[in-house]
Structure formats: C-alpha cells, structure tokens
Structure 1
Amino acid sequence: MSPAATTASHTDASAPVLRDFGGGPFGIYIHVPFCATRCGYCDFNTYTAGELGTSASTQSWAEALRGELATAAREFAALPTATPPVETVFVGGGTPSLLGGDGLGAVLDAIRAEFDLAPGAEVTTESNPESTSPAFFDKIRAAGFTRISLGMQSAAPHVLAVLDRTHTPGRAVAAAREARAAGFDHVNLDLIYGTPGERDRDLDASLDAVLDAGVDHVSAYSLIVEDGTALARRVRRGELPAPDDDVLAARYERIDSRLEAAGLTWYEVSNWAAGDTARCRHNLGYWDGGDWLGAGPGAHSHLGGVRWWNVKHPARYADRVAHGGLPAADWEDLTAADRYLERIMLALRLRTGLPLTDLDAEGAAAARRIAADGLVAVTDERLILTDRGRLLADGVVRDLVG
C-alpha cells in the first residue's frame, strides 16, 4: 500500500534510526500475507497455505504482529514528540477477510492496546468477496471497522478467469450490499481494466454492476504485467497478448466518464469518490507525505523522512520480532532530492494538485512547457493534471524532475 521508495542513503538494515514525527496525520497499515489461492497477475507479498507449509500460520503471524506493534510503540515513545493519535488504520494484503470477523477484531484490539485511536478514526479492511458474509460484516462493524474495500476486478467471467480470480461475477456486488446493510457507510469496489480478452461491453457491464451496488468509492487500475507472475509467463509464451496502451487509455476515459456522470468524482488518478467524506483518508496520508507504521511481513513504514520495510517471509518476520527490535529488512533516510521527487510524484496525482511554490526553478520552467502542451493547468497557484495529463501522469512527473 505504500509508495515506492527512492534511492537514498541507509545503514545497518536491522536498526532504522528514527527521527521525530513529521507533523501530519499518523496512520497504521497492517499487512496480512495470506491468500487462499494465488492470482496470476499478483506480485504482492502473499502466500498460500501450500507455499507456507508448516513454517508459518495465521496464529504465529498474529502473535508476531502484536510483538511488532508493542516494539514500535516503545520506539516511538522514546522520540521527542508524543506519538499522535492514529487517524487511520488500513488492513491489507493478501486477503484479510481470511482471518474472519473475530481475527480482524483481534487485529484492531492489538492496535488499541499499544496506540490511541483518534475519535472518528477511519478503519478499513480489504476483503475478498468470497470470504465475506452478512455475519462477517456485522462482526467487523461491531469491532470498530468503518470502511470496506472489496476486490471485484470485473463482472465478466472470462476476464476473472484470465486473472485467476475465484469469486463469481455477482458476488462482489452482493458483498457490497451486505456491507451497507451491516451499517458501513463507506464501501469501495476495486476494478482492473485492460485484461487480455476484455471487451468494451465487458467493462460496461462491470461499471453497470459497480453503480448498481450503490458504493461511494471506486478504485480502477490498469492491468500491469509484473515480472515473475504467472500472467507474465503466459504473455511471454504468446498465450495472451500484452495490454495495449491505446486500449488502456480509452478504457480509463470510459471509466472516468461513467463514474463522473454517476456523481463519483476523481480525487486521485485511480480513485473516485462520492464526496469528500467518501475519500480514503488512509491513502491520502500516503499521497500527502504523511507518517505511518507498516506492520506485518514486507510492510513499509515512514516517519519524518525515514522509511523502512520489513522482512518478507512470515516465518522470518516472526523470528525477527521474537528476537526484539523492529523487523526491518532495510531502511533509508530520504535526502532532500528524494523528498522533492516524491512530493511531485505523489501530489501531482491528486485532484488538488501541486503548489507551484513546491517547484524549484527548473521544475517551474518544465511546468510552463508542460502547460503549453495541455497536460497540466494552473489553478489558484497549483499545478493540476488535465484530463489528458492524467493519461500521461508518469511522463509529466519525469518531465518535471528532469
């Protein structure tokens, strides 16, 4: 869930040197590394039961998670400024819903045992539609979760088959309705577009289903063929075509048009919400350069310009926690140049844009050139991507930073 790290200086991998909090909202991300099956396109740090064998389990993970949270709380308590209340919690993965309602409630209890949750904190969990039920939603709502993010991906059976998704096409919509019935005001559905074999009418059917579900948030991501995945091997063997950039651009415009017409407005390049209160506050913390603790195998953390990331394998993660200290695999102290790049890279993806005052002289000159090409506009002294600029956001960032 955290943004990619940039190149920066680092030292002893097991001991990140922490500085004080940066002054913005503070969030906690929990990584659940378990999945029932592995999707062909996924390169996340996840494991099926067969891949783990007896080396790790949900029980050993939960025990290690409690240990990491306790260690982090002690480390943070030694900093000059008191640890701020936790404004947002996001439980991701993997498939957090495999923990069940009781397991997810225990995760939130473990956070509460070490940190103060702010009044009105946003508490989100990702869920696979097939591992949810009305009883599941009732339990996690009672436990204190306030927001649900469901992996729908598509309403077309043949598209789900290419992605190796196991849920039936209608289950995601049914799950969204069950979540609303359980009292969740904020429900997100994830879409993936550009899958080989997807047609315009397949995307339209997916959008029809999303809008029929009555959710207040939609995330839509173009399919990326990641090295080392089963999907990448199929593309390399010629079994499937690689996603076409022109098709991806047309699909994005189709998604944006349909969602905007239905009252869901983009606030980040890949995210649309029905008003400010529906926006994902946790992810906004990433994009605004906030602080967060990432707990769990492979999770990334950021505190006052210092970033660290945990060892990936659940068994090694548990072993590192048991021996004390934060279970970091490596860490970095972001330089001024790193922070400048990340500020542009993240803020420009937001509808609110980037303040012109954040740009150096070379960046300001580049911004004028890019504006002349119609990729950005200047509104209230902020640089904001145009509709065409959103399709080329990565290139705009590269041009701004030289």
Structure 2
Amino acid sequence: MNIFQSPLFKIPGYRRMWFSILFSNLGGQITLLALPLTAVFLLDASPTQMGLLTAMEIAPFVLLSLPGGVLLDRMQKLPVYIAGEFVMGLSLLTIPLAWAFDLLTMGWMYAVCFAIGAVYTIAGSASQLVLTQLVGRDKLVEAYSQNAIAGSMAEVMGPGLAGILIKVFGAPLALVMDAILLIGSVAMLKGIRIHEQVPPRSTWKDRSFKAELMKGLNFVRSHNMLIEMAVVVGAWQFFAQMALSVQIIFAVKDLGLDEALVALSFVAMGLGSIMGGMAGPPISKRIGLGPALILGIVITSIGWLSLLLLEGYLPSIILFSWMLLCFSWGATLLFVNFLSLRQSYTPTELLGRMTTTMRWLITLPAGPGAILGGWMAEHVGMRSSLICAGVGTLLVATIAYARPRLRSIKQLPTVNQTNDS
C-alpha cells in the first residue's frame, strides 16, 4: 500500500507537514529511550523519581493549557508550531552539555522535562490546529491516521537508531541526533503557507483575557459529549501513566533487559501504531467512532494484563514488546477518534481554546497517576503499578461502553451540532 497515493498528499503543505511529523517523531523516539535510560543508568533514579520525571513533563499541560489556548486564538498557529520544535531541540542539547561538564542531576532532568512539556502544551496544540487549517474538518480522521502512520514509521526505525546511538555514544549524546532531526522538522514546516486571519494585536487590550479564557471553558462545559470524552480519556490517562512512568525501570531491573534489548522492544510500538493508523479508519467506519475509541482503551488494557499473566511462560523481551505493541495500537485507535471528534464539535474561532481546555482536562489526572505509579512501584512492588493500569483501564472501558452517549457516535458531527440536540 502506497500511503502517498492518499488524496491528502495533493493538498498544498500536507506532504511537508507529514515529513515534519516523521522527523520530529523519529527524534522523539530517541528521546523516549535516552531520557529515562540516562536517569536509570547514569543517575540511578528510583521508581519514585521516575514517576516525578514523567509528572514534570505533564505539569505544563495543567499550568499552561488554558492561557495558551487564549493566546493561540489570537496568534497565527504555524509560527508557534515552528518555534516549539526549535525550543525543544535547544532544551535537549543542555543534557549532553551538562553531562560533559559533570553537572547533570535529576533536578536538571526535571527542568528539561518541564520545558519539553511546555513545548508539547503550546506548540502541540498549535500543530493540531495547523492540521485542521490544512486539510479541513471532513478529512480529519484520515489525516490523523496518516499522521499516526508517520509516527509509527518513526517508532519502527527510531528504537534501532536510538539503540545504536546509545550503545556507541551513550544516552546523553544520543539526544544530539534528536536536536538535528528537529532542525529538519523546522525546515519542512517553514515551507508551508497558511493564510490565517487573526485579531490585530492592537485589539488585544480591548479584549478581556479572562473572559476569553472562560469562553473556552464554558464552550466545553456546554457540550456534554466533550465533557464525557474528557472524563473517559482523562481516567484512561490516570491509569496509563501509572504504568508508563515505570515501564523502563521495570524492564531494566525486573525483566533484566539491557539498553539494546529495551531499544529493540520499542520497535513493537511502531508496529502497533501502524496497525492503529492503517486499521483505524476502517474500524471507525465499521463500528463507529465512539465504539472504536472505547476499543482502543481495551487493547491497551490487554497489553498490561497479559504481560503479568504470561510472565514466566514467555521470554521477557517478547512480553515487554507485546505490552508496548498493545499500548501503541490501542492508544493510536483511541486518539485518532478522540481528536477527530473533538475538533469536529468546535467552531473555528474557538478551536484554540477548546483544544487546550480539553488537553488540560485529560492531563489533570495524568500527573497524579505518574506519581502514584512510581510510589507504588517503589513501596508496594513494581508489578502493582502495572496491575492497577490494566484493571483500571479495563474498568474505564466498561463504564464508557455502559453509557449510551459515547458508544452511539457512529460518524463525525457537523460543527453546528451539539450533543444536546
């Protein structure tokens, strides 16, 4: 199957955005492995510290999402997106520099993770809005699926590249490659042309920042479907982060995998994302967007539970790889449908505030989940975090399916529809 035959690639600018996503995600795969491995092997981080490391990356979503949404609705989104890629590259470069001068500490790692989270919060929201501007609302499901394929290609290639770089140069220096790839992402994005009308800066003083912030909150609050999706995905985030915050240290200290085997296992994440990205639209069309979202949650739960149930019966690398495949497969299916539904409910002038409000709502539980997962792993046992993640996400899916509103959504609504109509 030639993905470039999709009509999306005939849309001016989309091909550049797709390659930007590929470069950025390829670098992200290096960081996904190099950051926690630096903490575990060089700084001897405890499970609680690993939970805090994850929480520091999540914290900016809670602190900056709402004001960021107001600013995004006042500004052109593409320059914000480009600036975010550049700032992330600079932040990552500080880690090998600090390591070279023997200044690297967990405090430094927390600061870099907070900076990365801030970029994801503001520039990540901007990227979603740029996509909507490029392809239009009616093509969002296909566009998010194509973007997921770019991400999953990076997840297939990235772990191998990361493993080689970490083995040869060490985890801190591997981050230099991520910075180089982010420069490539910036180069792709700078070739995109979007003509966007934004309020003149001279009118900002006449518009109440608080009133505009509340308008975004009130819009989400007035749509029961948006609230229900935020609750479901937020609850999934809480339990998922319990496992994600400790999965690297679990693989190294409990399963006995070294850096190379951990990197090899992460190839399975790419395969799972490809499955989710390519099968996502047919599944959504066949069973409906709401049921497909719930199915994604179930698949992630299967990964964590099967790892624990089959431990001792299969080699550790196979079990860990299977868990990662289920997570990426399920999470891709979940978010392709969640993001498409979320954007489709919202008028253009409120997209920025709606996007950041929803991201704020679904990440509020993520930080506590990461911290609790790290604490439980250290004081109760590593497997306790994985058990809670598996059982908790399965419970979330069961409750979501028991409620008729979400499971009844079969196709994208029009922007004028509300969930109360």
Q: What is the TM-score of this pair, normalised by structure 1?
A: 0.26
| Higher relative strand content | 1
Q: Which has the higher contact order (CA 8 A, sep 6+)?
A: 2
More helix by share: 2
